[in-house]
Amino acid sequence: MIRGGFFAALLGLCAWASVAAARPPVVVELYTAQGCASCGAASAHLASALADQKDVIPLTFSVDYWDYLGWKDTFAQGPFADRQRAYADKLGVAEVYTPQVVVDGRAQTPAVKGDDVDKLVRGARHYPADPPQMRFRADDRVAIGSGRAPAGGAEVWLVRYDPREQDVEVKDGDNRGHKVVERNVVMQLERLGAWKGHPLLLRLPAAPQSGLSTLVLVQGAGGGHILGAVAQTP
């Protein structure tokens, strides 16, 4: 009886996975730091111009490599800078910098000019898309359907971010005495596993705090193109 139920569930997942998926949202990653004097405009553009677009998911990744200038970023985590370095290798960027925007893992630009960011976002809406079906389950798992995996393989990433606006008073460094306003600040980044083009069911780890939105990405290994995305709001 247990074996029959398991195979029925597996067949159901495979049948669901064969259905064509809708175009995923455009994922915009802003790499920034509270101690970066030129980052304020980029954070403001994300909060005011991108965060409310229905087909765009902007994310604020705070990096820690400017902490030595006198202000320790309150949201920075080492893995965020590691993710940015992986993009630098893939996209041919000589070294990491802030503010930088990466769109769908395919293109990057300095984020000091909102028009340049908007141009990449508009272009991303026309990228060829063949995403796997993705959906959240009530038992704290995510289901990923079948599809064409890229050369080199793909990875499944969990991103949890705070959709609320964050106001931070910077008390030292280049932005001393200024308030930094950030939105969609990433609080958790975890690799869930590998995706090889076959249906997959993965359990989500616990969130570090309440009120966070959840995003799951299927992405080419080592900072490759984002192939699929599914988001869940609190």
32-79 confidence digits (pLDDT tens)? 999 999 999 999 999 999 999 999 999 999 999 999 999 999 999 999
* Interior/surface letters 55-79, b for 16+ CB within 10 angstroms, e for the rest: ebbbbbbbbbbbeeeebebebbbee
Q: What's residue 11's pLDDT?
A: 44
Q: What's residue 13's pLDDT?
A: 52
Q: Does residue 8 surpass a pLDDT of 80?
A: no
Tell me which residue of 30, 34, 25 sits closest to 45, measured CA to CA.
30
Give the HSE-up count for residue 141: Cα atoms under 13 Å, Cβ half-sphere: 7
> Using one digit for the tens of pLDDT, what is the confidence trace for 180-217?
999 999 999 999 999 999 999 999 999 999 999 999 99
Structure tokens at 112: 């000091």
pTM of the model: 0.90
Give the HSE-up count for residue 157: Cα atoms under 13 Å, Cβ half-sphere: 26
Per-residue CA distances from 118 to 5, 23, 101, 225 (Å): 48, 19, 10, 19
Alpha-helical regions (H) of the chain: 2-17, 40-45, 78-91, 114-124
Least confident residue range of 21-25, 109-113, 116-120, 123-127: 21-25
Q: Does residue 3 surpass a pLDDT of 60?
A: no
Q: Which residue has the tokens 């080492």?
A: 78
Query: How many other CB atoms are there within 10 angstroms of residue 89's CB atom?
Result: 10
Structure tokens at 36: 């970066």
Distance CA 107, CA 12 (A): 36
